[in-house]
Chain A
């Protein structure tokens, strides 16, 4: 059944929200308000939004250092996200995690991860937990093309496959692992073909086409929920920004970046919706305004939130620590 107008507009609104959140984060990073470093997902909105649109609130997701989009798409609170990026007390992790280590367990978001491929063994464990608890949840991992060459990916995919765990592996192939092109680090062209080595289906989709992503993800999620096991989904996409904000990007040509600009997933979906007469210029402007007003609120919340007290660093390490612990 094709998606109705309301669903399509919601997909669009979410993609705009991710794009604008990332843009806002980039600006405030440049202004020195966000400490450390951040990795933006501009250009990859179709993947995050398309995939998460197939998930329920109680489904589990892990992501990477480039995870803002996934978290927003899973339904995170923009205020607490922004505050976390700013290192503030009211952030999701009270300022202990930052952009790369952010989570919201109330929506099944088991966390971003600062270690490439770090989320895959965890999501396999979440999948095993679902199977043992006999619920119909699913567990989904986002990771990049760079992660594919790490050992944990192999172990996780094999284990999920032998136990037919309700896991979906989503590789966002954005062509570069930091500075290293995918062609350099993989001897195969399509990462999804690796699925065959684990006895699971693998599919490559145009990761800048939100509806194509949504369709493939829906099939994978359905398979997982039905107890038929894991799927490897390759979303071919492109990160339109550097690996991190401030990346001089000497490893790729301007023409290449510009050519992907033409495939911008947000604008592309806007064109699709306009053609279907679902989106008008006026409606697009009002969606953007609405998103901006949410982001303004989030930003004010983050800016107004106090920094944690230095000694707050000593909270939250253990659930229980009795008998002779010392700082």
Chain B
């Protein structure tokens, strides 16, 4: 049976319907969820089908995160909606000092099956406080897992894995990609955390990416093919745990790597990945690893400035030309 075409939003909603049907300990908690089925319509049908299991809160991000945490510690499987990923700053203690550490500090006495769902990313002219990509903060925090799907099929398979996981998972989904459509299998499937996907094969350069960066790489790879450069696109999908094996196999083939993400470059995940590549695969490299990311500025409001700060396809092409010397 051919796959259906679904948007990322629809893929997410479908996964949640299936999971909530399967496990009655799953519930969703956050701001403005019931009236519009989430501010992006991402929980379509859930308020009607699972009344009482999608819960509106006051604007209290600290306690929303705490609610998820306390519930996860006592037998529930919450999905905490952070409204905009930028607001994680208001729940940082709960996420980083509590959720990330509670299992460890208490000697493994407890499981914390909690998904923190964070719509992130720029491009909606939402300016500096509603547009960030903050995933690397959480990669830096032992005890959390970090997932960033790109295509609708990944959204569905990964949210299922995140929900079923017994550890706290930061799940970032780019706001601009909610409407993006793609094939989604009909049958039940789960994409395990920590499994990257080679989505386009190539022998000349590895484009290592995730989230919105994936789409930049796909477009860049098309253009590069016209120039005779075969780029391999590796969608990391999960940053923690990281599928370094798939990265290694790709680099052993191409000997060149460009890491592409929307988050700003300094201290971004690309820095970590580049460091690991030089550490573990130095002899495989024929060129330094390049990083493509946003310029180190807050996201400005006015469209020409926002577009200038964000990474684009030509940045990817430039990086590829630099590492391939072509």
Contacts and interface: CB of A to CB of B under 8 A. Distances in A.
A126 B108 contact: no
Given A92-B106, A159-B57, A325-B194, A115 B98 contact: yes
A110 B167 CA distance: 17
B192 A121 contact: no
Interface stretch (A128-136, A213-221, A254-262, A284-292): A128-136
A158 B63 CA distance: 10
Contacts, number: 173
A152 interface: yes
Given A121-B63, A130-B74, A323-B243, A105 B110 contact: yes
B109 A125 contact: no
Given A121-B63, A121-B66, A315-B108, A126 B166 contact: no
Interface in B93-111: 93-94, 97-98, 101-111
Q: Chain A contact residues (Cβ within 8 angstroms of B): what range? A: 35 or more
Interface residues of B, number: 56
Nearest to B65: A121
B106 A127 contact: no
B71 A97 contact: no
A227 to B, nearest CB: 15
A323 B194 contact: yes
Nearest to B164: A320
B76 interface: yes
A317 B142 contact: yes
B70 A159 contact: no
Contact of B71 (A128, A159, A321, A322): A128
Contact of A124 (B63, B98, B244, B245): B63
A69 interface: no
B192 A125 contact: no
B242 A324 contact: yes
Nearest to B91: A121
Q: Which 6 A-B pairs have the closest CB atoms?
A: A121-B66, A125-B70, A323-B194, A316-B108, A93-B107, A155-B63
Given A124-B66, A139-B70, 8 more contacts: A92-B107, A93-B105, A102-B106, A118-B97, A155-B60, A156-B63, A319-B108, A324-B244
24 contacts: A60-B74, A93-B107, A96-B104, A96-B105, A97-B106, A104-B109, A105-B106, A105-B110, A111-B102, A120-B66, A121-B62, A121-B69, A121-B94, A122-B70, A122-B73, A125-B71, A125-B78, A126-B74, A155-B63, A159-B63, A316-B107, A319-B108, A324-B194, A324-B243
Interface of A: 60, 91-97, 101-105, 110-111, 113-115, 118, 120-130, 132-133, 139, 151-152, 155-156, 158-159, 162, 315-326
